[in-house]
Amino acid sequence: MNTKWKLFLIATLAFPAQQVLSQDWMVPSDHTALTNPSEYNLENIKKGKELYTRNCQSCHGDPGKNNPLALLPLPVDIASERMHANSEGDLFYKITTGRGVMPPFESTISENERWKLINFIMNFKPGGNQLLVDAPPVKVKLLASVNENKSTVEILAEREDAESTGLENAPVIISAKKTFGNIELGRAITNENGRAEFTIPENVIGDEEGYVSIVVSMGDGYDAHEVALEKAKVGKNKVVPRLIKGEVLWSTNNNIQLWLLLSYISAAGGAWLVIGYAIYQIIKIKKLSKSS
Amino acid sequence: MENKNRRNFMKTLLASIGAAGVAGSSSILSSCDRIEAVDGDKITLLTSSGELVEVDKSQLKPAELPSLSQNQKQGREGLPGKSWVMVIDLSKCRNARECMKACQNHHQLRPEQHHINVLQMQDAEHTAPYFMPKPCQHCDNPPCTKVCPVNATFKREDGIVLIDNERCIGCRFCIAACPYSARVFNWFEPRDAEKYEGVTYNIEANVPQKKGTISKCLFSADLLRDGKLPSCVSACPNGVYWFGDRNEDAVTNGTTKETLSFSKLLSEGAAYTLMKDLGTEPRVYYLPAKDRAFPFTGEQV
């Protein structure tokens, strides 16, 4: 078989299969006509973005980058033409009911929030009026130190350019290192000089001596190296209660219960004493019978 | 004679490359009290940090593998200061069974043997069914360890209940004592038995398994020693598992790697433990299957 034939066969076989899998998601006509009650404005779009990051991004990928998770059918990029062939009502129906690998979000995202999510998807409508434009990440040099006496973290964020000007009004995330990851303690906003001060909450648990490893990082939109600070005594001591009680009933000689050991030894010893005494008496009787 | 010697050396060398992760490449490089190759012969090795290095063959010496008694000793002591806990979020479980696969691969289990099993549950006639992963509960008051006549199964200071199959006599008292059916017995030769032949027994992974002994979930204690999450926790694609140290009040999600306060997660999620009334004090907590992300797909009971 020559290649042309093969291609033809693949095309004829694969095309309807794809049609069945991906195109055939019918939406009832009364849903298609629904209009979005949530206003198309920056605030709603930002809220929608938050929802998208939490619930959708892991499968649908970054908008416009066409990097969905390899599922069947392939999740559609929200900035693609195919996504926007749907009306807002269609999208609402599909998000609500789900299909196949896509879970229904009826119980996990409220109706109002689902519409805001659609506001966010509409932000990427080809040729539409894009309100939320992500700026390229700002390169930041982050410096931080812990003040053990005041129990604070002092932070300095500078733009990584020629002048190293302070970064104003930027959120900085302060976390504490734990066994398997960093737990967020809180956030601080930098002032006009790029400085911020964060008071470490009192209930932070450190190691056995109360030493905590603080990690300072920045959120989305900033390109900064995470700063891991040296351990500082700013937390509560970690309490390590003894788990194993000294004595158990069975299993091991090392932690046997004392009363059990003593009663066992006395019972066993007593039995041997009785046996010994009986034998002694028998011998004594024999001797007496001989002598008489 | 010389030839035979070299063969033995190459055998130990192969073993030592396998153990390079444990011993670190430095121990291979630094000392040279056994020289059995001609100078100038080079060999390429992969270090534990992932770099390829070229080493003179004469510089190689076999790394020391931990002995059985050493393994058993450190396995009994546990990790100082830790108190491991697991939180299972039932609302996230969709029966992907990746945790079971990862566990069976790690602990050399046959397909019918489970350290962790995803069960289909329905609490009452009119309640909604849900999926429930069920590992060993690592009770703080374990009924199983108390009935062992040979001290083969025991509780460690960091909370894990382990089994030493070098001591186990296969009496199965512990299976009878466990209210959670968390233990399995090796009725047959374990899976891939030939692959594990001659491997030093690692009590913290219970590998190699042995026919006629008990096996059970051990929170992948060997991985915890390396600072990694248990294999079921990191294998889950749906964010079901949280794992961490109760003493430092932090648990980390195996999927998202997000770290939260353990006590906050329990109180906000209305967590519960299994069969609380037995007084076993489990270390595995469940968050109820409320607001589920995925519909129940199993057979309706």
Whether A164 and A229 share a structural domain? yes
Tell me which chain B residues have a C-beta less than 8 angstroms from the C-beta of A242.
157
Q: Above 80 in pLDDT, residue A31?
A: yes
Q: What CATH number is attached to the domain comprising A85?
A: 1.10.760.10
Cβ atoms of A52 and A117 closer than 8 Å: yes
Spatial distance between the Cα atoms of A63 and A136, rounded to a whole number of angstroms:
15
Which numeric CATH code is attached to B69-75+82-287? 3.30.70.20
Closest partner residue to A183 among B148, B158, B260, by Cβ? B260
Nearest residue of A to residue B230, measured between CA atoms: A180
In a domain, A260, yes or no: no
The minimal CB distance from A238 to the residues B157, B227, B248 is found for B248
pLDDT surpasses 50 at B24: no
CB contact under 8 A, B140 and A248: no
CB contacts, 8 Å: A251 with chain B: 145-146, 148-151, 154
User: Residue A244: inside a domain, yes or no?
Assistant: no
Which residue is listed with tokens 């009306």?
A87
* B247/A248 CB distance under 8 A: no
The count of structural domains within chain A is: 2
pLDDT, tens only, A188-236: 999 988 899 999 999 899 999 999 999 999 987 888 888 999 999 999 9
Is residue A31 in some structural domain?
yes
pLDDT at A109 over 80: yes
- Considering only CB atoms, which chain A residues are within 8 Å of B140? 243
Of A208, A233, A258, which one is at a domain's C-terminal end?
A233
Q: What is the pLDDT of residue A272?
A: 98
- Residue A15: inside a domain, yes or no? no
CA distance B75 to B239: 29
Do A115 and A192 fall within a single domain?
no
Give the Cα separation of B114 and B98 in Å (integer).
12
Q: Is the separation of the CB atoms in A225 and A216 below 8 Å?
A: no
What band does B26 get if pLDDT is binned at 50, 70 and 90?
Answer: very low
Tell me which chain A residue has its CA closest to the CA of residue B140.
A243
Q: Which of A96, A122, A148 is the last residue of a domain?
A: A122
Contacts of B86 in chain A (CB under 8 A): none
> Around B292, how many Cα atoms within 13 Å sit in the side-chain half-sphere?
16
**Among B184, B201, B168, B195, CA closest to B73:** B201
Question: B63 is written with which tokens?
Answer: 């790394």
A43 shares its domain with A110: yes
Residue in B157, B244, B248 nearest the CB of A244: B157
Q: Closest by alpha carbon to B245, among A229, A234, A207?
A: A207
Residue A149: both structure tokens together: 């006496």
Sort A28 into a burial class: Cβ within 10 Å, 0-12 / 13-18 / 19+: exposed
Q: Which of B227, B247, B258 is nearest residue A239 as measured by Cβ atoms?
A: B247
User: What is the pLDDT at residue B281?
Assistant: 93
| Closest chain B residue by Cα to residue A209 | B81
Same domain, A106 and A151: no
State which of A122, A151, A184 marks the end of a domain: A122
In tens, the pLDDT along B131-173 reads: 999 999 999 989 999 888 888 999 999 999 999 999 999 999 9
What local confidence, expressed as pLDDT, does residue A19 receive?
47
Q: What is the pLDDT of residue B35?
A: 46
Q: Would you state the pLDDT for residue A11?
A: 55
- The per-residue pLDDT for range B103-133, each reduced to its tens digit, is 999 999 999 999 999 999 988 888 889 999 9
The verdict on whether omega for the bond into residue B80 sits within 30 degrees of 0, i.e. cis, is no
Q: Where residue B33 falls among pLDDT bands split at 50, 70, 90?
A: very low
- List b or e across A87-123, with b for residues whose CB sees 16 or more CB atoms inside 10 angstroms: bbbbbbbbbeeeeeebbbbeebbeeebbbbbbbbbbb
The phi, psi pair for B6, rounded to 5°, reads: -65, -40
According to DSSP, the β-strands at A138-147 and A222-224 are parallel
Report yes or no on A13 lying in a domain: no
At A242 the pLDDT is 86
pLDDT score recorded for residue B227: 93
* HEC per residue, A52-104: HHHHCHHHHCCCCCCCCCCCCCCCCCCCCHHHHCCCHHHHHHHHHHCECCECC
For residue A276, what pLDDT is reported? 97
pLDDT digits (tens, 9 = 90+) for A127-144: 887 887 777 788 888 999
A231-245, A257-271, B15-29, B172-186 — most confident range: B172-186
CATH 3.30.70.20 positions along chain B are 69-75+82-287
pLDDT at A8: 59
Q: Mean per-residue pLDDT for B83-106?
A: 94
Percent of chain B at pLDDT exceeding 90: 58
Predicted confidence at residue B21, as pLDDT, reads: 46
Angle between helices B2-18 and B20-30 (to 10 degrees): 130
Q: For residue A80, give its domain range.
A: 23-122
Task: Tell me: ipTM over 0.85.
Answer: no
Residue type, B172: R
Question: Are B138 and B282 contacting, i.e. CB atoms less than 8 angstroms apart?
Answer: yes
pLDDT by residue (tens digit) across A163-197? Answer: 778 888 889 999 999 999 999 999 999 998 889 99
pLDDT over 90 (residue B8): no
Residue B77: band (very low, low, confident or very high) from pLDDT cuts 50, 70, 90? confident
Percent of chain A with pLDDT over 70: 88
Looking at beta carbons, which residues of chain B come within 8 Å of A183?
A: 250, 259-261
Q: Average pLDDT, stretch B28-43?
A: 57
Minimum mean pLDDT among A195-199, B24-28, B290-294: which range? B24-28
Reference B84, options B255, B273, B270, B242; nearest CA is: B242
Closest Cβ opposite residue B151 in set A239, A242, A252: A252
Q: Is the pLDDT of residue A244 over 80?
A: no
Out of A12-26, A154-168, A265-279, B88-102, least confident range: A12-26
CATH number at residue A206: 2.60.40
Mean residue pLDDT across chain B: 86
